[in-house]
Structure 1
């Protein structure tokens, strides 16, 4: 059984590898991947393994980005310190979700799920791959609303009512067209996957609704500043690396 580990913390990767070998002595760990960029490059150039153990939060983004860029049918066991991404995980090929710290028991349970899935579907390999394909995230599936938190209350806000999302002091906020601000527990990386093409991430801090843009203007350093229908205390700037893609989106989005 060939296995790939996706984990950016070396100590955690080594400990996970040890638990995998203890659980499955015949397992071969063919590679340990530590970033989204490296993961995309690896899966583009190498055959898929039998099983993937993957952390979610990596240094350069979320591991979901790897599987969004590269079509990988391999079952994935997500291993993370957070339980916030469970729903997103099961929109990929996930067959198990382990919350850190790892234990030998949790790794063995994950292997059991993998083997049970194989027994249920084999020897019909075509059926197995078809079902794993269905488990893959549907790129066209878009959320219709976002859950926000107001003290002890939770309520949905329709995407059509949201002008922008932004990060401030590590917290994700959204601003509605009627200038209401709310917090959400989703990161910008997770939001990018689910809010559709009417929104664009202009830089590391902001995701903007196309309908919120009044005009764009040239700015220093070949960047672009935005004038929106909702106020913000600072200029919102399209980062230099995103300018060409942003202009194309602005011209051709609905």
Structure 2
């Protein structure tokens, strides 16, 4: 954890450092910066720290001027001998507001609150990533199909493409066999790995191996031919061409 100290009183700065090291020995301390000008210069030359401990009244003015000129996302614990700045402090990324002389327990509580928020934010980000990025293990490895009275399981790697005809979804294998699926083409698209299958248009969802030819077509579109497919008009719209090429090139 990297902590920057902005404090114009050297004894107060030394006390802060001692208290932080006592309760958080692994913390890496930066500073002490004792003015607005030095602080602005520091931020323009260094990456943002994890946490800032900042006195409100500095040698050359009120520290809020720093954050008016330098846009930061770093949480701040403000320290001051006065309480009239509390409302303003919480408008500038403040997670706490400590009055001098600083009680070591209050400082420890404030830093612990920052760490708890950091852990919670990390967990929430991981949850969000899991929601946005499909888990590869959730993709189907095979599809259950019926052929007359017979039920059969088709491995995904044996599938050439899926297509929709008259609101019925079909699965076609690399051997040219065709089966009816109970799911819609939209539902099927969500069940297969997008690294291996691409939605060409509203009627076709194709594997990479099934694509036999790609040709330029009018209005910046592409025309595609698929193995074991007699449809001569499989077109990729101009809007999807870029995504299609990116998929081919990954």
The normalised TM-score by structure 2 is 0.49
The normalised TM-score by structure 1 is 0.48
Who wins on radius of gyration, i.e. which is larger? 2
Specify which structure has the bigger relative contact order, considering alpha-carbon pairs within 8 angstroms and separated by 6 or more residues: 1
